C-alpha cells in the first residue's frame, strides 16, 4: 500500500504485505479504514488500516488530514513486474481487476431513489441516535437514544422538498453537538491478564447513527476517551539565565530585556494539551506580560523565553512567572516561581591583582618565564561582595582566549590560585589531571591522554580572568601576558620607537640577523629564539585543550605538508631554525629584513636556500619570501652561504598564499608580522614543480544505438591542482553525436539518430591557477563505440499526400453509415508505410481485419522512390486499394508532407500498402483496422490502430443531420452509439423526424380529366394515358408548368408542344 500526500513536506509512505492467497481466484473484501489519531493535541494525525476479509493486513500512520477531494486509487500490476512474451501483437497479454459492491453518487435523473445498483440515494438526514460503549460502534454502556432533532435541512435538491426548511442556509456546514448527561461512568475497568485481573483506565466510545428519509443509516464512532479526574502535576519550575545556561537554575539574571523559565510537568491520566504562562511583579500577577499559550511538543520538559521585555524590567527588581497546565480533560494546575532578580551592574575589577610566581616582568603587564612545563597564577579578590565566581583560561592570542587552557571556574568569592605542574591542575577545591579540563569531542570521547603540557620557546600565553556576579555579569581582570623566554634567546627593546637589529646564533654554525623597518612603538619588544635539534624534535602540546595548535613542529615529519608553491620542491631541511616573536603579539610597522649566514653547507646547482615558516592555522610549510606580495620572491644572495629575505605577514596568510594580494592584506587582520612564527632554513628545488593532469579513467566508452550515456571523467594531478574539463570543439566535425561536459567532468553523450560505429571526442583537462604560473593542459581522446541494435520498424499512414497525425499509436476516423438510400458508399482510403533504418531488412505489413466492414488491400510494394518537386506540381497518388496493382514492382510518389525523418529516404528500407475500408450496410458503431510492420528477423513496430467510428444516420430522402449545441455539425463520435439528440432537416416535399414521409402532390387532383397524376419527389406529373387522345401516352405538366397554365389549357399546351391542333367543342372539357 502506497500513499502520497499532496501537502508539501510529507514524504510518500508505503508498506509491503505478502498475501497468503491468490487474489485472482475469487472475490475478496478489501477495506481501508481511515482514522484520526488524537495523540497529538496540536495537529490531526491520520492513519489508515488495510483490512482484507475482516483481518487487518497492514497500516500506515502519521498521515496528514485527508481533504474532501482526496482520491483513493486501486491499481493492479503483474506480480514481480513479470512481462510475458507477446505472441500475437494484435492480442497482447493484459491484466484486469474486477470490483463489485462499489458505490457511486446517485445520478441526477434518479432523485429520491434508493436501491438502484451502485447508486446512493440523495435523501437528507432526518435524525441522530447516540450511544456509549466500551468499544467503537457499541452501546453496551449507554443504549442508543434519539438526540434532539436538528432543524437545519437545506432545500438543495428536489428530494429535500419533503422535509427541508427554507430558513436553513445550505452554503454552510452545520456542526452538531451531542450531549449525553447524567451518566455514571467508572474511571477504571478490570481486564484479564492471563490468570490475573488487572485494573486499567476505562475507555469509552460515543457512537452516532444518522438516519435518512429513505431509511438508510450511517454509523460513526469517536476515537475513544478516558475518564481523567486528576489535573497535571509539575515536577519542577525555575528561572534560567539564557545568556549563561538554559539548564541551570538561577535566582539572578543579567538581562533587562528577557525572562526565561524551564519547567517539567506530567499528567498520568491524559495528555497535557497546552501551557499558559505570564510574568508579573508578584506571584500570580501578569502586569509585565499577559498569559501566552504554548502547545507542548515535549510535554515533560519546556523552555519558555520572553524576549520582548525591553524597558519593562528594572535593575534590582524581582519578577515572577505563573504557569498553568491544561490537560485533555479540561483540568488545570497552576504554579509560581520564587522570582528572579535583575542585576545589570557589571563588577568593578580594578582592585584585583594577578601575579605569576617565578616570572620576570619585562614590560607593562608582560612577564617572561623559562619554565615551559609549569604555570602558576595567584589573584586577589575583587572588592565586590556580589562576586560569586572566578573564571580562568589561557589562549594563544588576544582574540582566542581559551585554546590552551579552556575557560574553567577556579574560585567563588575570594582570592585564590591556579597551578599547572607535572600534568596536574590545581586550584581551590580541585586537584586533578590536566586532561579533565579538556572539551571532549566525538573523536576523543573515550581516549586517554598523558596530561602533557609543553610550551614552545617564544610562545605568548594570553591569560584571561573574569569575575562574575550572581546575575552572570562578568568583567575581565587585568591579566598578564606570559612569554616563554630562555637564556639563549635574544630579546630586543625599542626604547623610543627606533628600529631594532637582533642577532640569533644557533649552535650549528648559522647566524640570523633580523632588522625591523618602519619603526616600532616605544617599549615594544621582539624575541628571537634559536632552536636546537632537540627543541625541534619535541612534541609541544596542551592536553587541557583539543584546540591547541603548536607553532613548532618536526620538519621531517611534516615535510609533505606544504602550500602549492613548495609542493614537491623541498629537498632538505637544515638544522638552522628559530622562532621570531613580537612580545604580546604587537604587530610590527614594516617588513622584516632577515639575513641568514650558513657555514659548511652548499646548495646544488638546481637548489636554492629558502627561509620557510610553519603556518599553524593551515598546518602547511610556506615560503617566507612570498609573504609580502602575491607571487614575487623577495630574496637576495650575497654569496653561496648568505642570503637576505624580506618578511611581512605570516599569521594571516591564506591556505593558498598565492591568492593573497598586497592591497588586501590589511583586510585580513594585518600587513606585517604580528604573531610568533617558527622559521627553518631549507634547500628547495629552484624550479616550480608542476605536472600536467592526466585522465584517471579509461578513455574507452560504449553505448547502444540511439541510447544516450552519462558518465563522470576523472583527472589526477600529482600536485593536487584543481582541474576542469572542457571539449575541444576544433575537432567537432569528427563527432557523430552530441556531446557536453561540465567543468567537474560530467560527460553527456547522445549518438545521432540511428548512427553506429566509433566516435572520437577530444577532452581538455586544464589546471586552475591563480599564482602566476602557466596552467598545464592535457588533451585526451575519448573513444565512444556505438553498438548497433536490430532496429524495430516504424509504421505510419499517409492520406492525400500528407502524413496523418496520430494520438499515441491510434488514428481516429469517422464515416457515415451506409444505407440503401445512400448514392455513394461511405469508405476510407489511406496508404500505410513501414520503414526501417536497417536497409538490408525486408519489411512486410500485417493487417487485422475489421469486424463490421470489408478491407481491400493493394499490392504490397517495397521498391519506393520518393520525388521532390519544388514547383508544387506534385504527382497524383491514389490512396486505398488502387494504390498499386498486381503488376506493380515499384512506385514513385511525392515525399509526404509533414513527414519528418532524421535521414534521407534512401537510407531506409520501405514497404507500402494502400487499404480501403467500407463499413457494412446499415452498420454503425466502433470498428478497428490494425496494422504493424515487421522484418524478416521478427522485429516489429508498434501496432497502428485505426479507430473507425461509423456514425448512425437515420435521415432519409436527402435529409441533413442537425446536431445539438455541443455538436452542431454532427461530427461527434457519440453518434456512432446512438442518434438520440440529433434531428434531420428535410428537403422540400418530405416530412417526419427522419424525413421518411413524402408529401402526395396528386392528392389535390391537379391534372385534367383523362390525365393520370403521377406523384414525384416534391412534384407531380400529368400523363395523357388514353389511346384515343392525340397525345396518347404523352405526359404533360409538372409543378413548374402548373404555375404558368390553367387546368383548361393544359391539354392545349401539350398539343402545341406536339404540333397538333385540337378542337374542343363548347361545353366540353
Q: What is the mean pLDDT of residues 688-694?
A: 93
Query: Which grid cell is 457?
Result: 620557546
Specify the range with the lowest mean pLDDT, choosing from 47-51, 561-565, 706-710.
47-51
Predicted confidence band of residue 796 (pLDDT cuts 50, 70, 90): very high
pLDDT at 603: 86
Specify the range with the lowest mean pLDDT, choosing from 183-192, 516-525, 845-854, 925-934.
183-192
Contact 534, 524 (CB under 8 A): no
| 593 or 671, which is more confident | 593
Q: How far apart are alpha carbons 5 and 72 in whole angstroms?
A: 11
Q: Which of 217-226, 597-606, 738-747, 864-873 has the highest mean pLDDT?
A: 738-747
Q: How far apart are alpha carbons 924 and 951 in whole angstroms?
A: 6
pLDDT at 554: 96
What residues have CB less than 8 Å from 374, skipping those under 6 apart? Answer: 419, 420, 421, 422, 453
Cα angle 610-616-620, degrees, rounded to a multiple of 5: 50
Cα angle 640-646-650, degrees, rounded to a multiple of 5: 120
Q: What is the DSSP-derived secondary structure letter of residue 642?
A: E
User: Could you give the 3-state DSSP secondary structure of residue 618?
Assistant: coil
81: left (phi over 0), alpha (psi -120 to 50) or beta: left
Q: What is the mean pLDDT of residues 352-368?
A: 93
Q: How far apart are alpha carbons 1046 and 193 in whole angstroms?
A: 117
Predicted confidence band of residue 657 (pLDDT cuts 50, 70, 90): very low
Predicted confidence band of residue 1029 (pLDDT cuts 50, 70, 90): low
Q: Which of 126-130, 868-872, 929-933, 1012-1016 has the highest mean pLDDT?
A: 929-933
Contact 370, 487 (CB under 8 A): yes
pLDDT at 3: 74
CATH number for the domain formed by residue range(s) 233-342: 2.60.40.10
Asked if pLDDT for residue 1047 goes beyond 50, the answer is no
Asked if pLDDT for residue 285 goes beyond 90, the answer is yes
CATH architecture of 694-787: Sandwich (2.60)
> For the segment 310-323, what is each residue's pLDDT rounded down to a tens digit?
999 999 999 999 99
Query: Is the domain defined by 794-951 classed in CATH 3.30.1240.10?
Result: no
Asked if pLDDT for residue 872 goes beyond 80, the answer is no
Query: Which grid cell is 997?
Result: 414521409
Q: What is the mean pLDDT of residues 940-960?
A: 93
Q: Do domains 354-484 and 694-787 have the same CATH topology?
A: yes
Q: How far is CA 890 from CA 224, 867, 907, 913, 1039, in A?
A: 83, 13, 17, 12, 58
pLDDT at 410: 95
Query: Which grid cell is 360?
Result: 620576570
DSSP element (H, E) containing 725:
strand 723-727
**657 phi and psi angles, rounded to 5 deg:** -65, -15
- What mean pLDDT value characterizes the chain? 85
> For the segment 421-475, what is each residue's pLDDT rounded down to a tens digit?
999 999 998 999 999 999 877 777 788 899 999 999 999 999 999 999 999 899 9
Q: What is the mean pLDDT of residues 388-399?
A: 94
Contact 806, 797 (CB under 8 A): yes
**750 phi and psi angles, rounded to 5 deg:** -125, 115
CB atoms within 10 A of CB 329: 19
Cα angle 30-31-34, degrees, rounded to a multiple of 5: 150
Q: Which of 330-339, 989-998, 1004-1013, 1047-1056 has the highest mean pLDDT?
A: 330-339
Query: Is the domain defined by 354-484 classed in CATH 2.60.40?
Result: yes
Instruction: Give the number of C-alpha atoms closer than 13 A to the C-alpha of residue 418, restricted to the C-beta side.
Output: 20
Asked if pLDDT for residue 808 goes beyond 90, the answer is no
pTM for the structure as a whole: 0.59
Instruction: Give the number of C-alpha atoms closer than 13 A to the C-alpha of residue 28, restricted to the C-beta side.
Output: 17
CB atoms within 10 A of CB 268: 10
CB atoms within 10 A of CB 753: 12
Q: What residue segments make up the domains of the chain, in order of their start?
A: 1-102, 123-174+186-226, 233-342, 354-484, 490-685, 694-787, 794-951, 1001-1058
**659 phi and psi angles, rounded to 5 deg:** -90, 0
pLDDT at 601: 81
What share of the chain in percent tops pLDDT 90? 56
Q: How far apart are alpha carbons 699 and 1033 in whole angstroms?
A: 102
> For the segment 751-786, what is each residue's pLDDT rounded down to a tens digit?
988 888 899 999 999 999 888 889 999 999 999 999
CB atoms within 10 A of CB 644: 18
Asked if pLDDT for residue 795 goes beyond 90, the answer is yes
Give 491-520 as a DSSP string: EEEESSS---EEEEE-SSSEEEEEEE-S--
Amino acid at each position: 500500500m502506497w500513499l502520497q500526500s499532496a501537502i508539501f513536506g510529507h514524504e510518500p509512505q508505503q508498506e509491503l504485505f505478502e498475501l497468503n492467497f491468490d487474489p485472482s481466484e475469487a472475490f475478496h473484501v478489501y477495506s481501508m479504514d481511515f482514522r484520526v489519531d488524537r495523540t497529538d493535541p496540536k495537529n490531526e494525525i491520520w492513519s489508515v488500516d488495510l483490512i482484507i476479509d475482516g483481518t487487518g493486513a497492514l497500516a500506515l500512520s502519521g498521515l496528514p488530514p485527508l481533504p474532501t477531494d482526496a482520491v483513493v486509487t486501486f491499481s493492479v500490476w503483474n506480480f514481480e513486474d513479470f512481462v510475458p512474451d507477446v505472441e500475437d501483437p494484435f492480442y497482447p497479454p493484459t491484466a484486469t481487476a474486477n470490483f463489485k459492491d462499489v458505490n457511486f453518487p446517485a445520478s441526477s435523473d434518479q432523485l429520491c431513489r434508493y436501491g438502484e445498483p451502485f447508486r446512493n440515494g440523495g435523501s437528507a438526514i432526518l435524525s441522530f441516535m447516540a450511544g456509549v460503549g466500551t468499544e467503537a460502534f457499541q452501546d453496551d454502556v449507554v443504549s442508543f437514544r434519539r438526540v434532539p432533532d436538528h432543524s437545519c435541512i437545506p432545500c438543495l435538491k428536489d428530494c429535500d422538498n419533503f422535509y427541508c426548511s427554507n430558513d436553513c442556509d445550505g452554503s454552510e456546514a452545520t456542526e452538531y453537538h451531542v450531549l449525553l448527561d447524567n451518566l455514571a461512568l467508572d474511571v477504571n475497568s478490570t481486564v484479564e491478564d492471563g490468570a490475573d485481573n488487572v485494573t486499567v483506565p476505562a475507555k469509552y466510545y460515543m457512537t452516532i447513527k444518522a438516519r435518512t428519509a429513505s431509511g438508510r443509516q450511517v454509523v460513526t464512532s469517536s476515537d475513544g476517551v478516558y475518564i481523567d479526574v486528576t489535573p497535571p502535576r509539575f515536577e519542577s519550575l525555575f528561572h534560567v539565565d539564557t545568556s549563561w545556561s538554559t539548564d541551570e537554575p538561577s535566582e539572578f539574571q543579567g538581562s533587562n530585556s528577557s525572562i526565561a523559565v524551564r519547567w517539567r510537568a506530567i499528567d498520568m491520566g491524559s495528555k497535557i494539551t497546552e501551557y499558559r504562562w505570564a510574568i508579573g511583579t508578584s506571584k500570580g500577577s501578569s502586569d509585565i506580560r499577559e498569559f501566552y499559550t504554548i502547545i507542548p511538543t515535549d510535554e515533560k520538559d519546556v523552555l519558555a523565553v520572553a524576549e520582548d521585555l525591553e524597558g519593562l524590567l528594572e535593575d534590582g527588581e524581582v519578577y515572577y512567572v505563573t504557569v498553568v497546565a491544561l490537560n485533555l480533560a479540561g483540568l488545570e494546575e497552576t504554579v509560581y516561581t520564587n522570582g528572579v532578580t535583575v542585576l545589570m551592574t557589571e563588577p568593578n575589577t580594578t582592585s584585583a591583582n594577578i601575579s605569576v610566581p617565578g616570572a620576570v616582568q619585562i614590560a607593562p603587564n608582560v612577564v617572561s618565564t623559562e619554565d615551559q612545563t609549569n604555570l602558576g597564577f595567584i589573584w586577589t579578590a575583587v572588592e565586590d561582595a556580589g562576586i560569586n565566581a572566578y573564571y580562568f583560561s589561557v589562549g594563544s592570542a588576544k582574540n582566542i582566549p581559551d585554546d590552551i587552557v579552556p575557560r574553567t571556574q577556579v574560585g567563588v568569592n575570594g582570592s585564590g590560585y591556579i597551578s599547572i605542574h607535572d600534568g596536574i591542575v590545581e586550584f581551590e577545591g580541585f586537584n586533578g589531571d590536566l586532561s579533565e579540563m579538556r572539551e571532549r569531542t566525538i573523536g576523543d570521547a573515550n581516549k586517554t591522554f598523558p596530561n602533557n603540557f609543553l610550551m614552545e620557546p617564544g610562545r605568548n600565553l594570553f591569560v584571561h580572568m573574569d569575575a562574575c556576579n550572581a546575575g552572570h555579569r562578568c568583567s575581565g581582570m587585568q591579566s598578564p601576558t606570559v612569554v616563554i623566554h630562555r637564556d639563549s634567546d635574544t630579546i630586543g627593546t625599542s626604547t623610543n620607537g627606533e628600529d631594532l637589529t637582533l642577532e640569533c646564533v644557533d649552535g650549528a654554525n648559522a647566524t640570523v640577523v633580523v632588522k625591523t623597518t618602519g619603526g616600532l612603538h616605544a617599549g615594544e619588544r621582539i624575541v628571537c629564539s634559536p632552536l636546537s635539534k632537540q627543541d625541534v624534535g619535541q612534541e609541544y602540546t596542551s592536553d587541557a585543550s583539543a584546540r591547541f595548535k603548536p607553532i613548532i613542529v618536526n620538519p621531517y615529519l611534516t615535510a609533505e605538508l606544504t602550500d602549492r608553491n613548495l609542493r614537491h620542491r623541498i629537498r632538505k631541511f637544515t638544522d638552522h631554525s628559530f622562532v621570531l616573536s613580537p612580545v604580546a603579539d604587537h604587530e610590527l610597522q614594516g617588513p622584516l629584513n632577515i639575513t641568514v649566514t650558513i657555514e659548511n653547507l652548499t646548495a646544488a646547482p638546481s637548489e636554492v636556500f629558502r627561509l620557510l615558516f610553519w603556518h599553524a592555522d593551515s598546518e602547511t610549510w610556506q615560503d617566507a619570501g612570498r609573504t609580502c606580495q602575491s607571487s614575487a620572491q623577495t630574496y637576495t644572495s650575497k654569496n653561496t652561504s648568505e642570503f637576505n629575505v624580506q618578511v611581512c605577514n605570516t599569521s594571516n596568510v591564506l591556505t593558498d598564499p598565492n591568492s593573497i594580494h598586497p592591497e588586501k592584506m590589511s583586510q585580513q587582520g594585518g600587513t606585517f608580522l604580528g604573531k610568533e612564527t617558527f622559521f627553518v632554513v631549507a634547500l628547495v628545488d629552484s624550479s616550480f614543480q608542476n605536472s600536467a593532469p592526466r585522465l584517471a579513467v579509461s578513455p574507452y566508452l560504449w553505448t547502444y544505438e540511439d541510447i544516450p550515456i552519462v558518465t563522470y571523467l576523472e583527472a589526477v594531478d600529482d600536485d593536487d591542482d584543481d582541474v576542469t574539463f572542457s571539449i575541444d570543439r576544433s575537432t567537432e566535425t569528427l563527432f557523430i553525436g552530441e556531446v557536453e561536459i561540465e567543468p567537474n567532468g560530467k560527460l553527456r553523450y547522445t549518438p545521432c539518430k540511428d548512427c553506429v560505429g566509433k566516435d572520437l571526442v577530444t577532452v581538455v583537462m586544464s589546471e586552475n591557477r591563480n599564482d602566476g604560473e602557466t596552467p598545464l593542459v592535457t588533451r585526451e581522446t575519448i573513444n565512444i563505440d556505438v553498438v548497433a541494435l536490430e532496429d524495430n520498424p516504424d509504421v505510419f499512414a499517409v492520406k492525400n499526400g500528407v502524413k496523418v497525425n496520430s494520438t499515441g499509436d491510434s488514428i481516429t476516423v469517422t464515416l457515415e453509415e451506409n444505407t440503401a438510400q445512400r448514392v455513394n458508399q461511405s469508405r476510407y482510403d489511406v496508404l500505410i508505410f513501414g520503414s526501417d533504418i536497417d536497409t538490408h531488412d525486408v519489411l512486410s505489413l500485417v493487417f487485422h481485419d475489421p469486424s463490421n466492414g470489408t478491407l481491400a488491400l493493394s499490392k504490397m510494394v517495397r521498391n519506393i522512390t520518393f520525388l521532390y518537386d519544388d514547383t508544387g506540381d506534385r504527382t497524383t497518388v491514389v490512396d486505398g486499394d488502387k494504390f498499386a496493382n498486381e503488376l506493380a514492382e515499384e512506385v514513385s510518389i511525392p515525399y509526404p508532407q509533414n513527414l519528418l525523418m532524421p535521414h534521407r529516404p534512401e537510407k531506409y528500407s520501405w514497404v507500402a500498402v494502400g487499404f480501403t475500408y467500407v463499413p457494412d450496410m446499415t452498420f454503425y458503431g466502433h470498428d478497428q483496422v490494425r496494422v504493424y510492420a515487421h522484418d524478416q528477423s521478427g522485429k516489429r513496430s508498434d501496432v497502428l490502430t485505426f479507430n473507425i467510428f461509423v456514425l448512425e444516420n437515420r435521415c432519409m430522402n436527402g435529409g441533413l443531420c442537425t446536431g445539438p449545441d455541443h455538436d452542431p455539425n454532427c461530427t461527434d463520435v457519440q453518434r456512432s452509439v446512438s442518434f438520440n439528440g440529433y434531428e434531420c432537416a428535410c428537403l422540400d416535399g418530405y416530412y417526419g423526424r427522419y424525413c421518411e414521409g413524402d408529401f402526395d402532390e396528386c392528392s389535390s387532383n391537379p391534372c385534367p380529366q383523362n390525365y393520370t397524376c403521377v406523384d414525384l419527389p416534391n412534384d407531380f406529373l400529368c400523363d395523357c394515358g388514353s389511346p384515343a387522345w392525340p397525345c396518347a401516352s404523352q405526359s404533360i405538366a409538372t409543378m413548374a408548368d402548373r404555375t404558368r397554365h390553367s387546368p383548361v389549357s393544359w391539354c392545349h399546351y401539350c398539343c402545341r408542344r406536339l404540333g397538333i391542333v385540337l378542337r374542343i367543342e363548347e361545353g366540353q372539357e
